Amino acid sequence: MDSFYAIMGGFSSALTFWNIVYCAFGVTLGTVIGLLPGLGSSTGVALLLPLTLGLDPLAAMILLAGIYYGAQYGGTISSVLVATPGEASSVPTVLDGYKLARQGRGGAALAVAAIASFLAGTISIVFLSVLLVPLAQIALKFGPPETFALMLFGIISVVGLASGDRFKGFAMAATGVLISTIGIDAMTGTARFTFGFTELLNGFDFLYVVIGLFAINEVLKAVGTGQPEPLRTRFRDMIVTREDMRRSAMPIFRGGLLGFFFGIIPGAGATLASFFSYDIERRIARKKGIMLGTGRIEGVAGPEAANNSSVNGSFIPTLALGIPGSATTAILLGGFLLFGIQPGPLLVREQPSLVWGLVASFYVGNVLLLILNLPLAPVFALMLRFRYCFLYPGILVVSILGAYSLENDLFGIWIVIGSAALGLGLTSYGYPAAPLILGLVLGRPLETSLVQTSSMGTGSLLFFFERPIAVVLLALSLASVIVPPLMAHLDRQRKARSDQALARPSR
């Protein structure tokens, strides 16, 4: 009952006029930031944080949090319409969302993404309200060994994105991890694989590679096949149908649950949640004889639900433990400290109006995003009706400017061009881009967790076997490598015996 009154008090704080205005401004600005390649939620929150210092702490946090989850949907718009994910967590959305847009259903894909984000956000907010303190204690059990095992399991599991060719999927994921090692060594602090380029000391920013592999690569492939006719998108094709919602219902539910529980684990976050969600939907669809990656609405609904839900989940370790659940919540954690507020186990008890007011604002923000983006989905989709001779140069210019804005350095543009050339060569031979991005994003935290685990075990990796959760996750990783080819081999043997039985002449 005390929790119920605390939540109601939170809504009374969040629903004041000015807090609603700040929330609306935050989600609108976040959507615009997510649309622009090279920005993203962490950059947007970092840029706006100094401007909020004169506000009330609750109003400032509501504004910044609105930018956070608003940017997730903005990234969806660019992913669906121009195959340019603003964040790594939006990469799975490209696989089906962009193909839906090319089929004239970009508006429907954006509308389903908005609905999925809203429903998954509602699911996660309910869990966040009820389980804030208990789940924070569970998340506290995840140290470096568990984090390493979880990320390894995630990389191995989603290699299924390789459209059936596991070798190519593993090769691309390993390439991503290898690229992530460029820069300062996590153990010794020395430079490695930089070849004398000081620009590489901080490693590759994944956005350079994403822009090259997806946006510019798509343009180059399209130009190579000649000038297509512009899409004639009919308005009725942009409307979400009852069939779309029927097919999206379970992916949204599964993605919402998955995203929330990945969000509460520091280091996992939205990227792993959205990739996992897509891989689960791919496996379920394959059993029904459906192939994701060809323009299926399920491939948009699941990852988008997981993406949004994980944002809310990441606030559990941030608020209850003072441990950021993602890069953006790390910046928000700094915002709390600037206001003289110390997140941690005592925060909920000492400042309940701040905590529950912020949680309630998540629901208000999700409602505002739904109201904002559902009517505008067809308007955004109309971008695809421009002639491609005008659209493609615009995509190239925005991509290059986005890459330059990351570091204000031409070196990043060369990385984008190199990534585009690499992507064009690899994808033409059937090597998938998504596992490479996942390996690149998770490679550095994977290495850091391994180094920390080695230190905890005084140099011995046998320390993993002293952590039950890590052992279970490593066992699942091993099973993910062994079981699928073993099952495929047994199926081939069973089919061969069946064929032999049918071919044997009857007496």
Query: Given the structure tokens 């007496």, which residue do they identify?
Result: 507
Q: What is the DSSP string of 241-286?
A: PHHHHHHHHHHHHHHHHHHHHHHTSTTTHHHHHHHHHHHHHHHHHH
- Amino acid making up residue 402: G
Give the count of beta carbons closer than 10 Å to the beta carbon of residue 408: 7
Residue closest to 367 by CA, chosen among 66, 55, 2: 66
Assess contact for 439 and 172: CB atoms under 8 A. Answer: yes
- Which burial class, exposed, middle or buried, applies to 54 when counting CB atoms under 10 A from its CB (0-12, 13-18, 19+)? exposed
Beta bridge partners of 192: 183
Chain Cα centroid distance, residue 13 = 30
Assess contact for 433 and 427: CB atoms under 8 A. Answer: yes
Structure tokens at 489: 């081999």
Burial 492-505, CB ≥16 within 10 A → b, else e: eeeeeeeeeeeeee
Chain Cα centroid distance, residue 181 = 21
Assess contact for 233 and 440: CB atoms under 8 A. Answer: no
Give the count of beta carbons closer than 10 Å to the beta carbon of residue 130: 12
* Rounded Cα distance, 365 and 328, in Å: 17
- Which burial class, exposed, middle or buried, applies to 195 when counting CB atoms under 10 A from its CB (0-12, 13-18, 19+)? exposed
In the DSSP assignment, the letter for residue 231 is P
Residue closest to 293 by CA, chosen among 458, 125, 100, 48: 100
Beta bridge partners of 184: 191
In the DSSP assignment, the letter for residue 505 is P
β-strands 183-184, 191-192 pairing: antiparallel
Cα distances (angstroms) measured from residue 270 to each of 94, 237, 251: 15, 30, 16
CA triple 220-225-226, angle to 5 deg? 100
Give the count of beta carbons closer than 10 Å to the beta carbon of residue 51: 11
3-state secondary structure of 145: helix
Query: Given the structure tokens 């984090």, which residue do they identify?
Result: 147
* Rounded Cα distance, 137 and 258, in Å: 18
User: Which element (helix H / strand E) includes 217?
Assistant: helix 217-224
* Rounded Cα distance, 222 and 418, in Å: 18
Mean pLDDT per 10-residue run, the chain (507 residues)? 66 84 88 69 71 82 85 79 72 84 81 86 78 64 79 71 66 84 77 77 74 72 56 60 86 87 69 82 81 84 86 75 66 75 71 81 84 73 62 73 73 82 78 76 80 82 83 83 74 72 61
User: Which element (helix H / strand E) includes 183?
Assistant: strand 183-184
Assess contact for 442 and 149: CB atoms under 8 A. Answer: no
Cα distances (angstroms) measured from residue 422 to each of 213, 418, 426, 487: 8, 6, 6, 34
* Rounded Cα distance, 426 and 420, in Å: 10
- Which burial class, exposed, middle or buried, applies to 383 when counting CB atoms under 10 A from its CB (0-12, 13-18, 19+)? middle
- Amino acid making up residue 419: S
Residue closest to 114 by CA, chosen among 258, 263, 314, 308: 308
- Amino acid making up residue 432: P
